[in-house]
């Protein structure tokens, strides 16, 4: 039995396999299909102060080795999460990372304050790939100066719990954004969110997604994600959580070797609901087989000589 | 869950019926999610209504419409298939009502399962399709009324024509269970509401997961936004707020 | 027989199927496997004033529904192209788009001047995804102001032949770059070049590509490419050539429906060398079947109502 | 080109020999590019040396090392396989020399083809591998010397040991044709140069296309940068500038 524990700021995870926001519901949906205590943590669907209905249908479609979604951040809202979901999640013994977002900086701060105060929420993950209402629709995660300010403002209201900031890959260079999170006092970075993409139904000549553009995820984006995660790791000292197209132990190892302290599995949860538990088990078996005492011994071992 | 395929054969041109081992329980109206290949292209599972489950053998009936179903059609007895489920809501007609089963094309699958599970109930099936080739399993129902758009078998026209002429429809004692293309379901929904019949509709939508977490399959209902894979695919007539 | 002709500036192509630079050699390699006269055009491997040896090996690897390359613009150089390749290409009757690049603005201008003067070169495609030696390694295609200036300078020396500028997808927003090409006097835009990506060999813990990062291409990137092409089309009046992951008629139609005037097929030439000829034939059959008299009737027919 | 698979069987654990129809000509040393699946995951073709071509039937011998070769191993007689080629340079030993065929593991494939095409030539085969399981086709050569690293069959040690003891090596009349892992080829190259023998080496590298356009397979030689798929895979001894 290898030591699979990793640290994300003050939080110790029992292993580095996390299920990603928007692909794991509120965790409870998986209760019949796996043991959600056995994975490092899970990220909730992105939460906002008020519940949201999300975008119009259709809002998903398939692409080569991937999918596009334009769910539009549908969620039950923070009140319902606290009242209806969290007690059951706590009972299930899961480690919870509350993913959240807002339309304005004030929304973000208030959401973080609320979530940080909840017993059973172990860390916060801030999704900054949302249009900023105050700044005319530019994404919060699209300007490093603003991102640093937002991070600092949010960190102030959740001093006791790790604040992970989730970066958008739809930028020319991710490094200034990683640096902005660190400078703003963020405890960790997670990367990447979805790439912007589009798909057309040739028969109807309509976009397959009602809102035309959506977010590309799945194995197709893995090389892009790995490159950006590696760049973040080279830029900051705080832990980086790797996300994008992970579907096998080798995929997870690629991110750990590149320097990620933990990984998140998104789209592949749809294909294989128990995948995170399987990967955690396989990671343990791998470490034993390879005589690796601590999973942290794998992190940042890329050889580029 | 990896299941052993027992048989798979083309029952009509482009339509396949596959049987495989299944160790669990399931209710008519529910569906399963099938992985059509071991690789990731195509990536997502495909939803299929359960067409039968008896003695540890589950069956599905499917139409080849794209790459996923084409891959499914290549599978043979002895191959394995990865099955997840069952998922979703089931048909729950009141115990005593006469049941009107309305199927459009491949929509016959879950209705057949219901009929098999309820052999002693009064039920009439109305089976519609574009041509004779699209009429499936009509001989497996005790009472079946067939309609084709081109008249190649049964009545010429839409399946709603024999439906509304049926005694149990006219006297409003019939309870409708319908599955088929969205246009047909919408038409039946509007008819049922207008004519004062109750019933249930099994809807279709692209599904990312099948178990309620991707939120890719929602539809609006009188009870708010619902996930077709958890709160559906079976909804009550009058409940769905049709998109178009 | 439908009318498949499309225009790229002053150049009329017999059909909109073009093979992409770096995936079609100098055309001659395909002579045994297809009829290179039957496709709209082919783009040469990127040419520079002097021949180049390219990067160290390994410089390709496979990824989910895609591949990464880091060839490093190996090419025979413009002199050898003119002396050894062009006469044979001309004899084969192919329509040639000379793809080219440089390390400095002066290189670009000189390469374009040379190529534009060559009989048998029908258009130029300028690859701006190269580090700019004068500007400390930033890509030429990474700054719209500079891109406009470069386009204008190059266009001056090739007034008689269409200048296509090929855009990089590694930007936050492709629209200012498309506008820069149009403002600089470019005759057309082609998009996209490869996305930056990375892959690791878990067994050796080494990057699969010697230079760590490389360019991701193939079906995996199609949704990203289509989105960017659509954005370019909405931004400029000049023709846009769609590139990225095309491997089937439906893929090509997606780009045409989104507004591309023509498409380029890259990676899939490796898998199926005669693919461009097949797509041209299938496009013709499709138009006949659907009663489309001119292929231009497909362009920009996306329905978003 | 879609070819009909005639046979495919596991000749040793993890090693397969496949025969399929092939309507063209090919020379020993050349290779083909196989599409292992119809979908795009994995995307690229896989290079395979031609192990035989006779009467319109081509054969390959391959080892399962990853997803592509695993998919190839699943194919059965009657299935189709998409073949492109032949590509690359061939073995061209001078007409009168005795030939020393040196194979490491799966590298035996092109040498077997050469031996079959040249039954009347004086040739000795040296076949090496890690264990007995990795020694393939040694009985198909008229003279074969086997060496395994663990000594489970033939001599214990590397294949270079029996090679350098052979009369035609010692008297420098032998012409070497070698195929196998890069480390082995480099060792043989250095031996041959040192001992004054001539010969040819068939190299391996990841290949994107197989016909010279992706430039993914280059290697440096005394004659400059060469593409392994066009100017190679067969190079003369002393020609390759080894990377490591
Ligand atoms: C609950 C449920 C039960 C179903 N039961 C059956 C069944 O018993 N038998 C059967 O043949 N089919 C059934 N379907 C439809 C089936 O899932 C689709 O036909 C299948 O996923 C298509 O996969 P493909 O890869 O072959 O097609 P694709 O290449 O993915 O698509 C081909 C065409 O089909 C459309 N399509 C894809 N998925 C769906 C979908 N889920 N609903 C509607 N249209 C779709 C696409 O938009 C496209 O136009 C069911 C769908 C749902 C949601
Ligand atoms: C000219 C030539 C002839 C060949 N002839 C044969 C043959 O006759 N029989 C045979 O079994 N194999 C042969 N090979 C090697 C064969 O092409 C690879 O084993 C195969 O492509 C691996 O595919 P995969 O998907 O199973 O492995 P992957 O999953 O792609 O890779 C598995 C492992 O194999 C390595 N690998 C992949 N491709 C190659 C390659 N081309 N060369 C070296 N290592 C590679 C990878 O780096 C990885 O470590 C030949 C290669 C070349 C270039
Ligand atoms: C259907 C869907 C919904 C998602 N919703 C969210 C979300 O609410 N908040 C968020 O930060 N990321 C969301 N994501 C992004 C994922 O968490 C993840 O960053 C991305 O999918 C890349 O990982 P993958 O390739 O493993 O899927 C969503 C992804 C998908 C596919
Ligand atoms: C091996 C390889 C080499 C390439 N070389 C060039 C090049 O020299 N110049 C250029 O502009 N684009 C080059 N490209 C990019 C392609 O032309 C194309 O833009 C990209 O691959 C996306 O298209 P695809 O997904 O169809 O491959 C190269 C691509 C590959 C795969
Ligand atoms: S299919 Fe994913 S929520 Fe219904
Ligand atoms: S494999 Fe493409 S050039 Fe050799």
Show the CA angle centred on residue A48, arms to residues B234 and A17, nearest 5°. Answer: 80
Chain B nearest CA to A270, separation (Å): 4
pLDDT of the residue at C305? 85
- Identify which ligand lies nearest to the alpha carbon of B28: 1
D41–B contact, CB cutoff 8 A: yes
pLDDT of the residue at A133? 67
Nearest CB to A65: which of C172, C220, C301? C220
Quick one: D196 exposed, middle or buried, by C-beta within 10 A (0-12, 13-18, 19+)?
exposed
Residue C304 lies in a domain: no
The DSSP symbol for D37 reads -
> Which ligand 2 atom is nearest residue D15's CA?
11
| Confidence category of residue B133, pLDDT binned at 50, 70, 90 | very high
Residue A279 lies in a domain: yes
> Which ligand 5 atom is nearest residue B206's CA?
1
Helices (H) and strands (E) in chain C, counts: 9, 16
A288: which 2 tokens?
């034993």
A215: which 2 tokens?
């977010």
B38–D contact, CB cutoff 8 A: no
Q: Long-range contacts of range D78-81, CB-CB < 8 Å, 24 or more positions apart?
A: D78/D4, D78/D5, D79/D5, D80/D2, D80/D3, D80/D4, D80/D5, D81/D2, D81/D3, D81/D5, D81/D18, D81/D20, D81/D34, D81/D35
Q: Are D16 and D9 in contact (CB under 8 A)?
A: yes
- Identify which ligand lies nearest to the alpha carbon of B203: 1
The alpha carbon of C139 is separated from its chain's Cα centroid by a whole number of angstroms, namely 17
Ligand 2 centroid to Cα of residue B5, in Å, is 33
Say whether C197 and A227 touch across the interface (CB within 8 A).
yes
Residue in C17, C18, C21, C24 to alter for ligand 4 test, most ligand atoms within 8 A of Cβ = C21
Q: Are B227 and B206 in contact (CB under 8 A)?
A: no
- Identify which ligand lies nearest to the alpha carbon of B105: 1
pLDDT of the residue at C242? 98
pLDDT of the residue at D97? 83
Per-residue pLDDT, averaged over C59-79, amounts to: 95
Ligand 4 centroid to Cα of residue C37, in Å, is 21
Residue A1 lies in a domain: no
List domains and CATH numbers for chain D: 2-87 (2.40.30.10), 98-236 (3.40.50.80)
B219–A contact, CB cutoff 8 A: yes
C-beta neighbour count of A274 within 10 angstroms: 16
Chain A nearest CA to D99, separation (Å): 40
Contacts of residue B41 in chain C, CB cutoff 8 Å?
A: 64-65, 219
Residue C138 has pLDDT above 70, yes or no: yes
Q: Is the CB of D63 under 6 A from ligand 2?
A: yes
pLDDT of the residue at D8? 96
Quick one: A54 exposed, middle or buried, by C-beta within 10 A (0-12, 13-18, 19+)?
middle
Chain D nearest CA to A69, separation (Å): 21
pLDDT of the residue at A170? 95
Block means of pLDDT (10 residues each) for chain A, 305 residues, are 95 98 95 94 97 93 97 94 96 96 95 97 94 72 94 96 97 97 98 97 97 96 98 98 98 98 98 98 98 97 94
Q: Are C66 and C219 in contact (CB under 8 A)?
A: yes
pLDDT of the residue at C140? 85
For D39, nearest residue in chain A (alpha carbons): A64
Contacts of residue B39 in chain D, CB cutoff 8 Å?
A: 37, 39, 41-42, 67
Q: Which candidate, A232, A283, A225, A284, places its Cα nearest to that of A259?
A: A232
Contacts of residue D39 in chain B, CB cutoff 8 Å?
A: 37, 39, 41-42, 67
Say whether D40 and A64 touch across the interface (CB within 8 A).
yes
Q: Ligand 6 pocket by C-beta < 6 Å: which residues?
A: D 207-210, 212-217, 227-229
| Confidence category of residue C162, pLDDT binned at 50, 70, 90 | very high
Say whether A227 and C257 touch across the interface (CB within 8 A).
no
Contacts (Cβ under 8 Å, ≥6 apart) of C34: C273, C274, C276, C277
pLDDT digits (tens, 9 = 90+) for C253-286: 999 999 999 999 999 999 999 999 999 999 999 9
- Identify which ligand lies nearest to the alpha carbon of D203: 2
What is the layout of strands, in order, in the sheet containing D46-49? Answer: D46-49, D31-35, D80-87, D2-12, D15-21, D57-63, D52-54
Contacts of residue A202 in chain C, CB cutoff 8 Å?
A: 250, 253-254, 257
Residue C192 lies in a domain: yes
C-alpha–C-alpha distance, residues C108 and C102, integer Å: 5
Show the CA angle centred on residue D25, arms to residues D29 and C88, nearest 5°. Answer: 90
pLDDT digits (tens, 9 = 90+) for A115-126: 999 999 999 999
D232: which 2 tokens?
């190679």
pLDDT digits (tens, 9 = 90+) for B9-46: 999 999 999 999 999 999 999 999 999 998 999 999 99
Q: What's the CATH number where C255 sits?
A: 3.20.20.70
C-alpha–C-alpha distance, residues B44 and B42, integer Å: 6
pLDDT of the residue at A137? 66
Q: Which candidate, A171, A106, A184, A102, places its Cα nearest to that of A145?
A: A184
C-alpha–C-alpha distance, residues C14 and C21, integer Å: 19
Residue whose structure tokens are 């990220």: A43
Residue C136 has pLDDT above 70, yes or no: no
D48: which 2 tokens?
């395979």
Contacts of residue A219 in chain D, CB cutoff 8 Å?
A: 41
C-alpha–C-alpha distance, residues A232 and A236, integer Å: 6
Our CA dihedral for D113, D116, D117, D121, rounded to 10 degrees, sits at 120
Residue whose structure tokens are 């769910």: A71
Residue C141 has pLDDT above 90, yes or no: no
pLDDT of the residue at C137? 66
C271–B contact, CB cutoff 8 A: no
Contacts of residue C54 in chain D, CB cutoff 8 Å?
A: 215, 218, 225
The DSSP symbol for C285 reads H
Q: Which candidate, A191, A263, A214, A184, places its Cα nearest to that of A18?
A: A263
Count of structural domains within chain C: 1
Q: Are A17 and A262 in contact (CB under 8 A)?
A: yes
Chain D nearest CA to B161, separation (Å): 44
Sign of the torsion formed by the C-alpha atoms of A11, A16, A22 and A25: negative
For A66, nearest residue in chain D (alpha carbons): D41
* Structural Rg of chain A based on CA atoms: 18
Nearest CB to A53: which of B84, B210, B225? B225
What is the full DSSP assignment across B6-59? EEEEEEETTEEEEEEE--S---BTBEEEEE--SSSSS-S-EEEE--EEETTEEE
Residue C194 lies in a domain: yes
Residue C158 lies in a domain: yes
pTM above 0.95, yes or no: yes
Residue C180, H or E segment: helix C175-183
C-alpha–C-alpha distance, residues C288 and C170, integer Å: 38
C-alpha–C-alpha distance, residues D37 and D31, integer Å: 19
Chain B nearest CA to C240, separation (Å): 29
Say whether A198 and C171 touch across the interface (CB within 8 A).
no
Block means of pLDDT (10 residues each) for chain D, 244 residues, are 94 97 97 94 97 97 96 94 97 92 97 95 94 94 94 92 92 95 95 95 96 96 96 96 85
C-beta neighbour count of B206 within 10 angstroms: 18
Nearest CB to C23: which of D35, D213, D219? D213
pLDDT of the residue at D121? 92
- Please list the active-site residues of C: 130
Q: Is the CB of B208 under 6 A from ligand 5?
A: yes
User: Hey, of B32, B37, B44, which one would you mutate to test binding to chain A, going by the most A CBs within 10 A of its CB?
Assistant: B44
Domain span at residue A131 reads: 6-297
C-beta neighbour count of B54 within 10 angstroms: 12
C209: which 2 tokens?
């590509």
Q: Are D41 and D102 in contact (CB under 8 A)?
A: no
pLDDT of the residue at C33? 93
Residue A304 lies in a domain: no
pLDDT of the residue at D115? 96
C-beta neighbour count of B232 within 10 angstroms: 25
Q: Are A191 and A243 in contact (CB under 8 A)?
A: yes
Residue C175 has pLDDT above 80, yes or no: yes
């Amino acid at each position: 039995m290898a030591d699979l524990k990793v640290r994300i700021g003050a939080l110790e995870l029992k292993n580095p396999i996390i299920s990603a926001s928007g692909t794991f519901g509120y965790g409870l949906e998986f209760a019949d299909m796996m043991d959600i205590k056995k994975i490092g943590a899970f990220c909730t669907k992105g939460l906002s102060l008020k519940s949201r209905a999300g975008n119009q249908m259709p809002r998903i479609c398939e692409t080569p080795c991937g999918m596009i979604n334009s769910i539009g951040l549908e969620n039950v809202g923070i009140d319902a999460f606290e009242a209806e979901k969290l007690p059951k999640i706590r009972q299930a013994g899961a480690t919870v990372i509350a993913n959240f977002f807002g339309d304005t900086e004030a929304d973000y701060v208030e959401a973080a304050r609320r979530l940080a105060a909840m017993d059973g929420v172990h860390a916060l993950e801030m999704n900054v790939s949302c249009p900023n209402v105050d700044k005319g629709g530019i994404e919060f995660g699209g300007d490093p100066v603003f991102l640093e300010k937002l991070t600092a403002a949010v960190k102030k209201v959740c001093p006791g719990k790790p604040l992970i900031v989730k970066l958008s890959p739809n930028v020319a260079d991710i490094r200034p954004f990683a640096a902005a999170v660190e400078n703003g006092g963020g405890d960790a970075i997670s990367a990447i969110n979805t790439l912007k993409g589009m798909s057309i139904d040739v028969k109807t000549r309509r976009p397959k997604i009602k809102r035309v553009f959506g977010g590309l995820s799945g194995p197709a984006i893995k090389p892009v994600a790995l490159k950006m995660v590696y760049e973040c790791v080279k830029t900051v000292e705080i832990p980086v959580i790797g996300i994008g197209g992970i579907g096998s132990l080798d995929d997870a190892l690629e991110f750990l070797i590149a320097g990620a302290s933990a990984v998140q599995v998104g789209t592949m949860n749809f294909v294989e609901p128990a995948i995170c538990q399987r990967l955690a088990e396989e990671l343990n078996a791998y470490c034993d087989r390879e005589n690796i005492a601590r999973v942290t011994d794998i992190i940042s071992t890329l050889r580029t000589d | 869950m990896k299941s052993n395929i027992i048989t798979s054969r083309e029952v009509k041109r482009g339509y396949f019926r596959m049987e495989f081992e299944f160790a669990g329980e399931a209710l008519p109206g529910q569906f399963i999610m099938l992985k059509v290949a071991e690789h990731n292209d195509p990536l997502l599972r495909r939803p299929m209504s359960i067409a039968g489950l008896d003695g540890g053998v589950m069956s599905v009936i499917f139409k080849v419409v794209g790459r996923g179903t084409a891959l499914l059609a290549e599978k043979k007895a002895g191959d394995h298939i990865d099955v997840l489920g069952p998922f979703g809501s089931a048909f729950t007609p009141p115990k005593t009502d006469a049941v009107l089963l309305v199927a459009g094309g491949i929509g016959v699958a879950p209705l057949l399962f219901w009929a098999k599970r309820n052999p002693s109930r009064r039920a009439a099936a109305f089976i519609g399709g574009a041509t004779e080739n699209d009429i499936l399993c009509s001989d497996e129902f005790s009472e079946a009324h067939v309609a084709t758009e081109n008249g190649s078998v049964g009545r010429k026209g839409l399946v709603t024509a024999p439906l509304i002429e049926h005694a149990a429809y006219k006297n409003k004692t019939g309870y409708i269970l319908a599955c088929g293309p969205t246009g047909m379901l919408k038409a039946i929904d509007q008819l049922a509401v207008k004519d004062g019949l109750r019933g249930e509709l099994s809807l279709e939508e692209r599904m990312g997961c099948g178990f309620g977490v991707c939120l890719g399959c929602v539809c609006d209902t009188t009870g708010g936004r619902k996930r077709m894979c958890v709160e559906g695919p079976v909804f009550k007539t009058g409940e769905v707020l049709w998109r178009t």
